[in-house]
Amino acid sequence: MVTAVGLGAMDRALFAVLSFYREDPDLLRRLDPLSACRVGRGWSGLRITCRDRVHRDVVCGVVDLLRPPLQALGMVKEIRLLVPGEEPLVFPVSVPFSSQLLTYDGSIGD
């Protein structure tokens, strides 16, 4: 299981995510793939470097768990999953609701 102690010196954003789920061991256990990643923060994003493409595919499955605490704290705007030699996968932290996507904005066309 991923724990704050088990990851040693970790990024504060990841520590906040783990703290967010500390009361729910099942959800916290789903974050286990992050223990094999290198995590850091850039200007507007959380960089998660995975071992390989297969590992990145597994980490993609926990992005939805990362979004709520990161959005609540406003620490980052995007999550970048990186693999050496591959294009990054970029996920926005804040995902608009489908109703927001369809709402007419009066400024469009000005």
| pLDDT tens-place string over residues 86-106 | 999 999 998 766 555 555 555
- Give a yes or no: residue 101 inside a domain: no
For residue 70, being part of any structural domain is answered with yes
Percent of residues, the chain, with pLDDT higher than 90: 57
* Domain-located, residue 110: no
The arithmetic mean of pLDDT across residues 38-66, rounded, is 93
| 92: CB partners within 8 A, 6+ apart | 77, 78, 79
The helix (H) or strand (E) run that includes residue 101 is helix 98-102
Max intra-chain CA distance, the chain: 53
* Mean pLDDT (the chain, rounded): 83
Query: How many Cβ atoms sit within 10 Å of the Cβ of residue 102?
Result: 8
Does 109 map to a domain? no
In a domain, 5, yes or no: no
**Tens digits of residue pLDDT in 18-48:** 999 999 999 999 999 999 999 998 888 999 9
Mean pLDDT within 4-10: 48
Within 10 A of 60 (CB to CB), how many other CB atoms are there?
15
Answer yes or no: is 45 within a domain: yes
Q: How many CA atoms lie within 13 A of 103 on its CB side?
A: 7
Residue 42 domain boundaries: 12-95
Q: How many domains does the chain have?
A: 1
* Residue 62 counted as domain residue: yes
Alpha carbons 43 and 3: distance in angstroms, whole number: 25
CA 60 to chain centre: 9
**What is the reported pLDDT for 93?**
92
